[in-house]
């Protein structure tokens, strides 16, 4: 599932995506209205639907991403392909073989439209689409370890841009984008899980990762000038939890769970990032945003 504004995208077992309008509902009854299905069922009178159906995913849709500015929906699948849909007219504008194994996650940089994909083949790939043209071009392949890559998250701001990837070996690798060349250089890894990393959410100051936790959602909240986050987590053991994380300038991070106040400082349970020597050498001069990432 993927939500943007009043639009909800859902992927189904028939290898199609449903688009829903969720604007017209009240607190008592939730009745979303289905807008369309991608791809639409083929019809002799609808040649576009026939063409789209021919490039329908051949296996389960594993991930969704949406590029806001151009209204493009990206779908990744176990069939190793990525499809690009223009939501305004339900048209398939591009379909390409992205990896040698299942596509597990897609992330779009909303600043420039750059697309990141990861796969069980152990690679992260970066794709670009020239404005006004449909085909995507592979610009860079990132591979630091052979383990399958399950999750991606991007932390982008005016000062820096970091890409994080979570792997089945329990490592979280991260790359920094160079401002001049726009290349992503491997900057190190985080090691804090004994099992596969299945989900990631990165903010400017914190990175949230899940092991047996299958999915995460993080919402920023500010209370009395104290920045914090509400974290929603769903585990493979069928449990769902809600956490409140407060970032205190002097005391580190305080975690609250279900009203219970867990007085922990951040250093009590966090692992320090392992940085690549060449990257550290370049960053020794002055403070750097990565020092804030945990």
Q: What is the pLDDT of residues 143-163, one digit of tens each?
A: 988 899 999 999 998 889 999
Position 258 in a domain: no
**Cα–Cα nearest to 55, from 82, 28, 18:** 82
Confidence (pLDDT) at 200: 97
The pLDDT value given to residue 79: 96
Q: Give me the CATH number covering residue 108.
A: 2.130.10.10
| Of 82, 89, 147, 85, nearest in space to 117 by CA | 82
Q: What's residue 32's pLDDT?
A: 83
Per-residue confidence (pLDDT) for residue 166, from 0 to 100: 96
Query: Residues 6 or more apart from 144 whose CB is under 8 A from it?
Result: 173, 186, 189
Residue 47 has pLDDT above 50, yes or no: yes
Would you place residue 257 in the very low, low, confident or very high pLDDT band (cuts 50, 70, 90)? low
Domain span at 152: 2-44+53-212
- Say yes or no to pLDDT of 262 above 60: no
Q: What b/e string do you get for 28-38 counting C-beta neighbours within 10 Å, with b at 16 or more?
A: eeeebeeeeeb
pLDDT of 291 strictly over 50: no
Whether 177 maps to a domain, the answer reads yes
Q: How many domains does the chain have?
A: 1
Measured over all CA atoms, what is the biggest interatomic distance in the chain, rounded to whole angstroms?
67
Q: Are 106 and 63 in contact (CB under 8 A)?
A: yes
For the chain, report the end-to-end CA distance as a whole number of angstroms: 27
Binning pLDDT at 50, 70 and 90, where does residue 26 land?
low
In a domain, 157, yes or no: yes
Confirm whether 239 is domain-assigned. no
Residue closest to 77 by CA, chosen among 55, 98, 62: 62
Mean pLDDT, the chain, integer: 84
User: What does the pLDDT average to over 190-205?
Assistant: 92
Question: In the chain, what percentage of residues exceed pLDDT 90?
Answer: 57
Q: What does the block give as tokens for 289? A: 């945003």
The residue ranking higher by pLDDT, 270 or 168, is 168
Does 244 map to a domain? no
Residue 67: what pLDDT?
96
Give the other-Cβ count within 10 Å of 27's Cβ.
Answer: 5
Calculated CA dihedral for residues 206, 211, 213, 217, nearest 10 degrees: 20
In this prediction, residue 192 has a pLDDT band, given cuts at 50, 70 and 90, of: confident
Query: How far apart are the C-alpha atoms of 242 and 257, rounded to whole Å?
Result: 7
Residues 155/200, Cβ–Cβ less than 8 Å: no
pTM, two decimal places: 0.82
Evaluate whether residue 218 is within a structural domain: no
In this prediction, residue 265 carries a pLDDT of: 39
| Partner residues linked to 37 by β-bridges | 18
Interval 13-38 mean pLDDT = 83
Is 50 exceeded by the pLDDT of residue 270?
A: no
Q: Residue 255: which pLDDT band, with cuts at 50, 70 and 90? A: low
Count of all residues that appear for the chain in the document: 294
Closest CA to 37 of 18, 51, 13: 18
The side-by-side arrangement of strands in the sheet containing 274-275 is 149-156, 161-167, 171-177, 184-191, 274-275
What pLDDT score does 114 carry?
95
Residue 260 lies in a domain: no
pLDDT range class, residue 273, cuts 50, 70, 90: low
CA-based nearest residue to 72, from 89, 97, 54? 89
Residue 123 lies in a domain: yes
Instruction: Judge whether 64 and 77 are in contact, CB under 8 Å.
Output: no
Q: What is the pLDDT of residue 84?
A: 96
């Amino acid at each position: 599932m993927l939500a943007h504004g009043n639009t909800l995208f859902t992927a189904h077992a028939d290898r199609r995506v449903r688009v829903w309008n969720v604007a017209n509902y009240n607190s008592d009854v939730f009745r979303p209205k289905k807008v369309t299905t991608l791809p639409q069922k083929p019809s002799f009178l609808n040649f576009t639907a026939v063409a789209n159906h021919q490039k329908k995913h051949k296996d389960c849709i594993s991930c969704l991403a949406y590029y806001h500015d151009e209204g493009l929906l990206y779908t990744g699948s176990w069939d190793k392909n990525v499809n690009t849909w223009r939501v305004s007219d339900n048209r398939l504008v591009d379909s390409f073989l992205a990896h040698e194994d299942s596509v597990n996650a897609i992330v779009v940089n909303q600043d420039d439209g750059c697309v990141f994909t990861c796969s069980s083949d152990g690679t992260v790939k970066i794709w670009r689409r020239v404005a006004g043209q449909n085909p995507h071009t592979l610009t860079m392949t990132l591979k630091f370890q052979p383990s399958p890559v399950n999750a991606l998250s991007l932390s982008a701001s005016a000062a820096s841009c970091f890409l994080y990837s979570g792997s089945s070996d329990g490592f979280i690798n991260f790359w920094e984008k160079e401002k001049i060349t726009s290349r992503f250089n491997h900057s190190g890894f985080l090691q804090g899980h004994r099992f596969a990393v299945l989900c990631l959410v990165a903010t400017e100051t914190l990175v949230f990762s899940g092991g047996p936790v299958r999915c995460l959602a993080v919402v920023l909240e500010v209370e009395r000038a104290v920045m914090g986050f509400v974290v929603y987590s769903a585990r493979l053991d069928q449990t769902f939890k809600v956490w409140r994380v407060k970032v205190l300038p002097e005391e580190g991070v305080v975690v609250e769970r279900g009203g219970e106040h867990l007085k922990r400082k951040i250093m009590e349970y966090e692992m320090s990032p392992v940085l690549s020597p060449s990257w550290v050498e370049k960053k020794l001069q002055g403070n750097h945003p990565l020092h804030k990432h945990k």
